[in-house]
Each structure stands twice: as structure tokens, then as C-alpha cells.
Structure 1
């Protein structure tokens, strides 16, 4: 088992120290969490033979994160995914945001979103770490000063939990997502993994990956993962889409997806969120050198991001992402690791 350490220095960002905290479950599952971007830098799960399996992509050192990382392990927000044309109207007022994707869209809260900021580690135990961040009014164009708290914790077995809370002093929008790239067996290509998504519908997108506003059935499309199947079964299909989760109403948390590798390790995603973004990692830069010196490339990992729907502020028939000054945004997501 790894040494379980409280926050330790792990580099600097804009002259300020970056810290890493290590947490561990009773079963030996271990996560390394950075104060920059609330990043899950490394996550290792015990296998039945007692060895540890790394299940995420990341870097050994901090230096590559600010300029090379495609959001490896980051908590993205204050609005995860895309907002069309970097603008929306709320309560009759127009807001113009930082258009950080091709000068056209706002992606993951702008160029200086929560994934690019230094958080404060405000709580730590051997199995849990809490990070907090304050965002000023008008930051990246969004209204409202916002306080965000994220807690990563291990519970029974090898389950990593993520609990997010956010409040604002003004009417605003909020959506956060954990952007880890998963690979459960260390293979070079996750298209050999099997995936099941518990969703009868998805939100189709334009060429700019902006939802068209439609909610369409997955039946008889490459987006039908209702039954477990090989990700690469449709060789010509690419995935960077939001699925509309069925939900079961049990304690406000639903089983969103199951990912299974050839080594028998399975990850189940359970969440309180209405949507799940499946991104197949096809744009990962082949020049990236990751954890333990491993060279990454397209499809080296995939993302399963629990979220509010992309572009919800401009799509009134999507589930609301509005956060009122007397309310609290909450998300509970679990990554449960099992052996099959």
C-alpha cells in the first residue's frame, strides 16, 4: 500500500505552491489529488492478485498540467462542457463569456475555469480530501461570486466518491464535471473496453459539438449502449456526446454507466446528474508522455463525465442549470470499482 500523506508540495503555479494530497481506502485503493484544478492525478485500484492497477491518465510531475493537459483528472466548471457562441440570457440580461474554443464557444467555463485555478485544501483525512475555491462576480463573464467545495472520499471497498457544492450571491448558472480519462487495464486503446450506458436518449450535436436542441432515441444508432458492447464495435463512429440518463429515482442517484476492461476490472458510474458525456479520447496528443513515462495517444483513455446538459442555458427545454442566490448546487458521483 502507498504511504498516505497529507498535503505535500508538488510544484508551483504562477509563483504559488501546488499541493498534492494522498487518500486511500481500506482495500488499498489510492488516489493522488492536486490543489490545482482539483485534479485526480493518479488513481490505483487493487486487483484480485493483490497488485495495483492504474485506471486514469495523468502526469508524473506538475509542469505539463497547465499547458499540455487536455483536462486530465480536472474538475471543470463553473459550467462544464460547451455554451454556444459564448453567450446566454438569464432573467432578461445578456451575458457574454470567454470564448476559449476556436473563438466561438465557451468550453468548461472559459480559459481560466475551475480546472485552471489553485484551490485551497481545507480538509484532509487518510480517506478524504476537501478543496474549496472562490470565483469572483463576472469571472469569465459569468454572473455572481461563487463558492465551490469539492470532496473526494473513499467509501466501502474501492469506491471513490465526489461531492460538489456551490453557492452564488447572484442568479447564475452552474454545472461541474470530473474530467478523468479512464483506462482500466493499461492498454494503448480503450476501444477494447466494453461500455454500457443506462440511457434511452442522447442530445445530438452540430459540427461544433453544440447540442442541436433535439433529444433523440438511441435505438438503431451507434449511440445505443443500453446493452454492454465493445466501444470499437462501430469502427467509423466517434463519441463526444451527452446521454440523457434514465435514472431510477433511488436516493436521487442513478446508475449511469458501466465500463469493463479485458482484465475483468469494471467501473460503475453512479450520479445525481441528469446527463453523462462520453468522450472517446480520440484527440489525445500522441506526443504526451504520461504516468510512469507511458506515451499516450488517441484513444488512450476515455471520459465519462456526469453533468448538466451542454448549452442548457440556451436550451430552455433541457434540465435547468440555473443557480439562485438562495440555493445550493449539489452533485454526488461515485466511481465504483468491481471485479468481473
Structure 2
């Protein structure tokens, strides 16, 4: 069974807990029910030495600090109702106009001022045939952050004996509403040894990406990556062409969706320094590859490590940004009577 320990309190005095899942190979992941946040993730390097590979804080107060709330990096948190941006904080469903918080310039980002990342989820630790589990549930009420409908969400984290961290999302609603759930973990496969991820090699299983304007809202164009700095169809060092992308990578790739009998592959990352590998597979149509562009050294994380620019990368499996306002994109509208199911799997390994 997972272990359970106190993890402090929220600003309003609500107690939160830390749940640690482990497997027979020594992998351990610690998750708090505050925002479903992944606090630490210990995996071995090529020498078998365990290391924590996600950005975050040692204590709850780190996630409550003024500096963190101002920076808003969403370290390791569950994101909802809508991951990524919605243009002008506005959308129309069935002829009804809805207005959301504009918390990213003129736009709505990651569920608003108090998204799922700031909720205290109900938590149940357990085991399954695949491994140790943590089941989190949350009720989002009609009108919360401007969204229509009462939304019931369940997220199950499973750490398997295949060295996988599996996230299974389920949601239902009583009124049509946009839903786009994801996790915002920042990975650095040499965290604590190297200050940034620019030497990591990444492959994205995507031939196109969603072109965005200067405020990172999609224009609607799905452009081929060939011949551009967005081409990661073959492994490429993250830092190799990042200077050609104004601001760095913070874009949605359109996944090819070919995966044989299992979940389609989304990404593969290799860190030559540690030998660690990360494979991401998902049933989602897109992945947001973000290179920590807005980290500026103002946050000091676990072990006192300063998180400067590009200290970690994110692979947020998702539907496309601004889909409620982009009728040509796959729909994100969940309707009453329907059930949303989504799965993403992070698999860890080593390469000599």
C-alpha cells in the first residue's frame, strides 16, 4: 500500500496529505491531494542511483508562497477544467455565451484564478493488479470560474511494476462544458546536477503543430514541422534550435496517433548525462511541449535548487489550445450523459 503522511495546510487551514507510491524496482512517486500535485519522482540513472526528476518544493509552504503564486508555473499539478489557453476568456456553447477569468493577459489559462491545481481533492490510496494507486476525486460546481455545469472528475495515478506512471482521467457533467484535463509536471532527468534541460534529446511523434499568434493563441493553421525548428520527428537536442523560436518552445504538437496495440506514442526523451529515458504515450490528440521559458531564478525548490530558465520541460498531453473557439479542432465539449475517459502513461528507463 502507498504510505500517507501530513503535508501541511492550505492558506485557509485545510490539512493536506502526501501519498507515496512505490514499486519493486525502487521507483517512488509522491503526490499531494492539493492540486493532485506530483511532489517528487525518484527513478534510477544508468548506474542504478535514484534521483528526483521533477521540479517542486519540499513543503506545502512552497506552493503557497507569494513568489510561486505570482510566477504561476503549476509545478506537477492537475490542470482543469481547461488546460492551456482560451482566447479572450470567452466561448459559446449551444448559443450560450460564457465569460471566464482572464488570468493570462487577455486570455484564460489552465482553469482560471482557482483551477483544479488549487483544489484539495478527495483521496483514496490503494493497490491494483498493475501496482499501487492513488484515486483523486473533485466536484466542480456550475458557474465555478465561469464554466457551465456541475463537473465530477476522477484521476487515478498508478505506479506499475513496468516502471510506468499511469494517469487515468474520468469526467461527467450535467451541462455541456469544455473539458481539457492534463498534468503539468516539469521534468529534468538530471535535476540537481544540471541547471537546465537544453542538452536533453527529445523526439515528438508529430508531423504538424498548431501555429500561434504573439499571445500563444492558435491561428487555426496546422503547419507541417518539416524544415522548421519544430521538427522533432527524429531525436534532437532541445537547445539546438530553441533560439530560433521567440520565447522558446511553448506550443502544441498534433500527434500522429499511431501506436499499434497500445496507447499511441507522444514523445521520447533521453538525457545523455544520466542515461535516463522518458517515454510518453497517450490517447489525446496533442501535446504541449514547454521548456520552462518563464522560470527566472526567483523560485528555489527542493534541496535549495534555484529554478532558472529552462530548468525543466513539460509534456502536457491534451486537446488543442482554444478548441472551444476553433470549430476545426477536435471538440472538447463534454455533454450531459457522456463520460470522458483519457489515459496518459509516462514510462521510465535507462540507455547506456
TM-score (norm 1): 0.96
* Candidates 85, 89, 95, aligned match of 1:92: 95
Q: Tell me, yes or no, if the aligned pair for 1:66 and 1:116 is still in contact at 8 Å.
A: no
User: What residue number does 1:65 align with?
Assistant: 63
Q: Does 1:159 align with 2:177?
A: no
Alignment of structure 1 residues 28-107 onto 2, 5 Å: 28-67=26-65, 68=68, 70-102=73-105, 104-107=106-109
1:17-41 Cα distance to aligned partner (Å, 9 max, x none): 0111000122111000001000001
Q: Secondary structure at the match of 1:154?
A: strand
Q: Does 1:129 align with 2:134?
A: yes
Q: Tell me, yes or no, if the aligned pair for 1:254 and 1:270 is still in contact at 8 Å.
A: yes
Q: Secondary structure at the match of 1:127?
A: strand
**How many angstroms apart in 2 are the aligned matches of 1:261 and 1:250?**
26
* Candidates 4, 7, 10, aligned match of 1:7: 4
User: What residue number does 1:297 align with?
Assistant: 308
* Candidates 345, 348, 351, aligned match of 1:337: 348
RMSD: 1.4
**How many angstroms apart in 1 are the aligned matches of 2:142 and 2:310?**
38
Q: Tell me, yes or no, if the aligned pair for 2:46 and 2:275 is still in contact at 8 Å.
A: no
1:329–1:66: structure 2 CA closer, same or farther, 3 Å change rule? farther
Q: Secondary structure at the match of 2:61?
A: coil
Q: Tell me, yes or no, if the aligned pair for 2:229 and 2:242 is still in contact at 8 Å.
A: no
**How many angstroms apart in 2 are the aligned matches of 1:82 and 1:235?**
22
User: What residue number does 1:261 align with?
Assistant: 271
User: 5+ residue gaps in structure 1?
Assistant: none
* Candidates 112, 115, 124, aligned match of 2:114: 112
Q: Secondary structure at the match of 1:204?
A: strand
**How many angstroms apart in 2 are the aligned matches of 1:112 and 1:287?**
22
What count of residue pairs does the alignment treat as equivalent? 336
1:252–1:88: structure 2 CA closer, same or farther, 3 Å change rule? farther
